[in-house]
Chains A and B, each alone.
Chain A
Amino acid sequence: MSQAAPSSRPSPRPPPLFEDAAHASAVPAPVGLARLEDTLRPVPVDAPSAPRGVWAAGLRQQLPGLLMGAASLCSMLLFWHLATTYRWDFYIRFTNIPTPWEVAQKMVEVNHSHKFITNVGMSLRRIFIGFALATVIGVALGLAIGRYKLARGLLFPAMEALRPIPAIAWVPISIMLWPDNEVSIVFITFIGAFFPILLNTISGVQAVDDVLLRASQCLGARERQIMWYVVLPGAAPQIFTGLAVGMGVAWVSLIAAEMISGQFGIGYFTWEAYSLISYPEIVLGMITIGILGLMCSGLIRFVGKALMPWLAYGARAGSMR
């Protein structure tokens, strides 16, 4: 954090009492607490800000990293280009792999195709429904299991028994369980996201500092208020870790489910491209899946930062745990 920042920016508040010891002690304060203004200095910690110059300095600092990142990506593209253009074949075969150029052309082409957009839309819809359900149910159960012995005793063993089964292994059962294909794919997505969210919520709840719980009780909080104002925000950083992991697993599960049992969806699109020997579309599907996954986890990080501004200052500053 920049040391110069506080002085260079106009203060949004009237001058702080601490800076003005003479003035403060001249006015008799109603309670003796005011005396400490004479002796205590505020810690010069200010909200993280982006004054001009910091960006440039930051850029200069990050430049080597950015250059290396660009070089890394370019060499991957170059390798792909060379391997596919010259159809390298040495045990691992690049003969049928489309070139970057072919994929780029396809990318432009499908932008005009209704089919592609529909597939992407279907996948996103499944992700959001499955993930939203997993979030609501996972966090609610996690709060209960983390805080109440009864819930832990009754629910946790069942959860632990189901947890090691990967979401994809649920595919056949899911098809039998649910009335139509669409619901069963959403269910697979839900299963994928559910367990990371549940487990992280439980451990987040259990990690809430006991002194905060006691403090809230002393301030008159009842159980429901403790849950809402103390346990939930206290567990929030770890819940968001669970959401980020859950989102990743949800995508894995969704793509697999779409490939196996799907109609529509980006996973189905990719698999169908293979069946129809439309090779550029395979790679396009892969890239699309990657970008969608990246966007979804970015969204979670963004929401997390917006909802938990206090994390910017703590011992864990800069990370979401």
Chain B
Amino acid sequence: MSAAARKGHVQIKDVSVRFGSKGRMTEAASRVSLEVQPGEFVSIIGPSGCGKSTLLNIVAGFITPSEGEALLDGQPIGGPGADRGVVFQQYSLFPWMTVRKNVEFGLKMKGLGQNQREAAARSLLGMAGLLAFENHYPDQLSGGMKQRVGIVRALATSPQVMLMDEPFGALDSQTRTVMQEILTNMWQQLQLSVLFITHDIEEAIFLSEKVYVMTARPGRIKAEIPIPLPRPRTPEMTASPTFQALVRQLKALIREESLAAMGGELDNGGLQGIDHQFSHDGMKALI
């Protein structure tokens, strides 16, 4: 299969997003361009409030850019749809449906009959090791399991793109590591395009082919870092020199932005001012 024929090509071209009315306008994203090739795993990383979720919401179809355009396979994105599977940071399973009914939901919306839906949902749940829980309600599951069901539900409609907005943000670190492994294996099997939002540097490197680093608000793309680690990715790789070098590089980039995001008081006389005055007084005392 040639890359050109495959689907799931996401392009964001010169996109700016502004919220609010004239007087109190905030710019969430400013002239952002990025691209997810068909079958590519791309992460966006940046300080909180930099507008990374805004970009994902544009691709999901929840937000229309104020300027620029967002394309899926060359077509402008109009609104939300089942061709893009979304996994949210908050648990988003319908509490009133059992695990299987949650997974069936997208197929039901497509108009599939009960038998087909059930068979499809059961095979997906079986692959995810969740079949034993098909008749459980979401509130009976742990956080990691809920998020797995969420991923399975998003996959059920066979989307070309998966959009994941800090999907493991609410999980404890052990569960999180396991989920990352599951996701990277799954991605290799399914060859989906993935746009993944995170603020976790190791997570972004471990999962991705390419990481975009965003600046503090208004978010711009500060750097585009290719991740040359081989596949399949294994947890042992996180100890490799390449991985560690990437972590250091990204940490340095993010640190600058986090400091900037914490506001003017840090660079405009905040810490420096205190520091300055302190050393001054200290000097006086010494003299």
Contact = CB atoms under 8 A, between A and B. Distances in A.
A32 B186 contact: yes
B255 interface: no
Interface residues of A, number: 44
A268 to B, nearest CB: 42
A94 B12 CA distance: 84
A314 B190 contact: no
Interface in B235-285: none
Contact of B182 (A13, A36, A45, A308): A36
Interface string A308-321: 11100111010000
A125 interface: no
B144 A33 contact: no
A39 B84 contact: no
B133 A310 contact: no
A229 B126 CA distance: 25
B127 A43 contact: no
Given A17-B132, A31-B186, A308-B96, A218 B109 contact: no
Interface in B78-93: 79-82, 84-86, 88, 90, 92
A225 interface: yes
Contacts of A218: 60, 80-82, 84-86, 154
Interface in A24-67: 24, 29-37, 39-40, 42-43, 45
Tell me whether chain B's interface is mostly helix, strand or loop, or mixed: helix
Given A30-B127, A310-B95, A43 B142 contact: yes
Contact of A43 (B88, B95, B126, B140): B140
A187 B154 CA distance: 48
A211 interface: yes
Given A215-B88, A215-B92, A219-B109, A13 B139 contact: no
Contacts, number: 137
Contacts of A230: 94
Tell me whether chain A's interface is mostly helix, strand or loop, or mixed: helix
Given A219-B157, A220-B82, A229-B105, A37 B129 contact: yes
A170 to B, nearest CB: 36
Given A31-B189, A32-B185, A211 B90 contact: yes
A225 B81 CA distance: 14
A36 B109 contact: no
A220 B139 contact: no
Interface in A205-224: 209, 211-212, 214-222
Which interface residue of A39, A43, A219 has the most chain B CB atoms within 10 A?
Answer: A219
Contacts of B141: 43, 45
Contacts of A222: 109
A220 B109 contact: yes
A16 to B, nearest CB: 3
Which interface residue of B126, B139, B144, B186 has the most chain A CB atoms within 10 A?
Answer: B139
B60 A40 contact: no
A42 B105 contact: no
Given A43-B142, A234-B96, A214 B189 contact: no
Contact of B80 (A33, A214, A225, A317): A214
B200 interface: no
A309 B142 CA distance: 19
B139 A225 contact: no
A289 interface: no
A80 interface: no
Contacts of A309: 137
A33 B140 contact: no
B145 A43 contact: yes
Contacts of B109: 216, 219-222, 225
A29 B185 CA distance: 11
A212 B94 contact: yes
Contact of B175 (A35, A40, A215): A40
Given A214-B88, A218-B84, A220-B109, A32 B182 contact: yes
21 contacts: A16-B132, A24-B129, A31-B189, A32-B184, A32-B185, A42-B142, A43-B145, A211-B88, A214-B86, A214-B88, A215-B92, A215-B94, A217-B62, A220-B109, A221-B105, A222-B109, A310-B97, A310-B139, A313-B137, A314-B139, A317-B139
